[in-house]
């Protein structure tokens, strides 16, 4: 016997039923557990660094997480221009929280995560993602079902960010119309909700389903895009729901000033990227317009 250690590959299962899959080599597994809510594994990969997968679906990687977290956060906050209170549903790794708290004008962030294990093990094994954000006194961290929280809460928020898993298992409820309607009740006038809606080239039905529901709830129901290497199959869509029609048409000059006034640095977001993200290719327009 050679004693050679067999390689382990963590297979991305999201598209298995559609005849496609990919895999990441797990050079070192840092943690693995069935948490009671879902199967969680954190491992190291030579290309993407530390990675987290839930139920076989990649959630975050050390190398490209900044793209997703910056675009989910700075687009709604800078489009709004006067955000004081933010609600995050999901986001247990802390990346969205990190970017929200970089805005010093934000006075309070409520983060609702269903699975405490995701947060605890992300803090331990991927601390660079949250970068100390969990210690910020502006944070109100709640471990609860996000759908139930928005139904029962009486607080209001300028921005709601739904950093959910895909509509499988615990994340499924966060794609229902009842959840979106309850979330709208939590928005202040002129507020905006942003949702994770997958890769439309591969998951067109997911995006179309959210926009169809948004159309019955908000005056403006659309999406914007960002290209994140980990999420294969094309750019990822972020759903956008608001009653303020001006938020998708903020001028580059105003966005540039708001960004400068925020005194933050980014690795993906720019005010030019912000505006361009709402320019949708025809195949995405066909999904969100032909409803």
Residue 154 · residue 185 · CB < 8 Å: no
Taking the CB of residue 265, how many other CB atoms lie within 10 A of it?
8
Beta strands 157-163 and 85-90, pairing class:
parallel
Beta strands 139-143 and 108-113, pairing class:
parallel
Q: Is 163 a catalytic residue?
A: yes
Q: How many residues does the chain have?
A: 291
Taking the CB of residue 126, how many other CB atoms lie within 10 A of it?
23
Distance CA 159, CA 150 (A): 13
Residue 68 · residue 59 · CB < 8 Å: no
Q: At what angle do helices 177-185 and 204-215 cross, to 10 degrees?
A: 50
Residues 6+ apart with CB under 8 A from 246: none
Residue 69 · residue 97 · CB < 8 Å: no
Active-site residue identified among 55, 64, 115, 163: 163
Residues forming the active site: 163
């Amino acid at each position: 016997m050679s004693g050679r250690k067999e390689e382990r590959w963590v297979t991305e299962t999201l598209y298995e039923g559609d005849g496609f899959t990919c895999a990441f080599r797990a050079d070192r597994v840092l943690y693995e557990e069935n948490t009671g809510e879902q199967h969680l594994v954190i491992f190291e990969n030579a290309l993407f660094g530390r990675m987290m997968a839930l139920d076989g679906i990649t959630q975050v990687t050390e190398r490209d997480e900044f793209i997703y977290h910056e675009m989910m956060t700075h687009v709604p906050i800078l489009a709004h221009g006067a955000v004081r209170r933010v609600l995050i549903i999901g986001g247990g790794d802390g990346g969205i929280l990190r970017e929200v708290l970089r805005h010093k004008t934000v006075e309070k962030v409520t983060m609702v995560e269903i699975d405490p294990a995701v947060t605890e093990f992300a803090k331990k094994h991927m601390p660079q993602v949250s970068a100390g954000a969990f210690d910020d006194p502006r944070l109100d961290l709640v471990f609860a079902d996000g759908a139930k929280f928005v139904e029962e809460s009486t607080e209001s928020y300028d921005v709601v960010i739904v950093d959910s898993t895909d509509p499988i298992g615990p994340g499924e409820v966060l794609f229902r119309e009842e959840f979106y309607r309850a979330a709208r009740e939590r928005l202040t006038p002129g507020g905006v909700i942003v949702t994770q809606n997958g890769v439309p080239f591969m998951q067109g039905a997911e995006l179309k389903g959210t926009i169809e529901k948004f159309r019955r709830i908000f005056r403006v129901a659309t999406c914007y895009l960002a290209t994140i290497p980990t999420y294969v199959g094309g750019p990822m869509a972020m759903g956008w729901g608001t009653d303020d029609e001006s938020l998708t048409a903020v001028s580059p000059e105003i966005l540039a000033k708001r960004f400068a006034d925020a005194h933050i640095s980014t690795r993906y977001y720019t005010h030019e990227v912000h505006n361009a993200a709402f320019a949708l290719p025809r195949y995405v327009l066909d999904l969100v317009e032909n409803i």
